[in-house]
Homo-oligomer: A and B are copies of this chain.
Amino acid sequence: ADREARDAAAARQGQLTKPPGSLGRLEEIAIFLAGWQGCEKPAIERGRAVVFAGNHGVVARGVSAFPAEVTAQMVANFRNGGAAINALAGAAGLTLDVVPLSLDRPTADFTQAPAMEAQECLAALNAGAAAIADADLLVLGEMGIGNTTSAAALALASYGGTAADWVGPGTGVDAEGIRRKIDTVEAGLALHRDSLTTPFEILRRLGGREIAAISGAVLAARMARVPVVLDGFIATSAIAPLTVRNPAITAHCIAGHCSAEPGHRRLLSALGLTPLLSLDMRLGEGSGAAVAVQIIRAALAAHGGMATFAEAGVSGG
């Protein structure tokens, strides 16, 4: 990030007509964006939400409340403008791109084999990197029936604990479904245990295409200095393997919200991220991050639009 722009933004915050610090996280956000955009008064002009979609072999193990065909049906819904992310991206002034990744070819069931071949995982990483285009703020979302199970496996492989620590109801499975998810995650970790030696291997063996695409997009955004608003448990799990060796990889990321999916709070805490919102959302699609963009816009409106004490003729404290 650009230290000079950050410092200028921080100095500006100290001059605006309010007690110092009284806008709380809105001040932090404005200063954060100033650093990544290299500009004292940052703006969102090309905000973009990208939803990656993929299908999962582990669905065969009864880990989701919805059938696998819903992934493609929801991609059609995104394209027709009928999903939550359409409405929420629109309300936040974001363009929306949808990137389905070989939906007709689900990943392998990771309890039997690596979810992806190396080549497939690389292709997904590259698809994610390509999708950031010329955005100046990114919301990265996912759709993939069964993918909270992959997310739990990635979190467990990255941060340890037990499968039960990371597994939750997802779209709404019952106690038996949760038991099946735990068994699936445990079986996956047992099968791959000796091979989970690099972030790439963790991602390819336990992840999914839409998850790898988010990893690729976060990495590409970092190279391009584009701030990223992270969504829920699955989107956050996409960077978990990267953060173990390099915690600073999240420096250009804002945790948009804390999902109601219980593993998310634990994962954010492991990553040292404090979410902007906590609204009991658990939908994915980038929906929580898109709502968080509203807060970011409010932060920039105050930062750029307020008068200083000197301009307004207001006595300082």
| Residues of chain B within 8 A of A26, CB atoms compared | 279, 281, 291
Specify the chain B residue showing the minimal Cβ separation from A70: B315
| Residues of chain B within 8 A of A19, CB atoms compared | 65-66, 171-172, 282-283
| Residues of chain B within 8 A of A251, CB atoms compared | none
Q: Is A278 an interface residue (CB 8 A)?
A: yes
Return the contact of A314 from the options B73, B86, B277 (Cβ within 8 A): B73
Q: Is A280 an interface residue (CB 8 A)?
A: yes
User: Chain A: interface residue count, which band?
Assistant: 35 or more
Other A-B contacts than A26-B291, A86-B306, A88-B301, 4 sampled, CB-CB below 8 A, are: A80-B312, A87-B305, A87-B306, A290-B298
| Residues of chain B within 8 A of A77, CB atoms compared | 17, 307, 312, 314
| Residues of chain B within 8 A of A22, CB atoms compared | 171-172, 281-283
B306 and A84 contacting across the interface, CB-CB below 8 Å = yes
The answer for the CA separation of A297 and B92 in the assembled complex, in Å, is: 10
A317 and B84 contacting across the interface, CB-CB below 8 Å = no
Specify the chain B residue showing the minimal Cβ separation from A69: B315
The answer for the CA separation of A311 and B298 in the assembled complex, in Å, is: 34
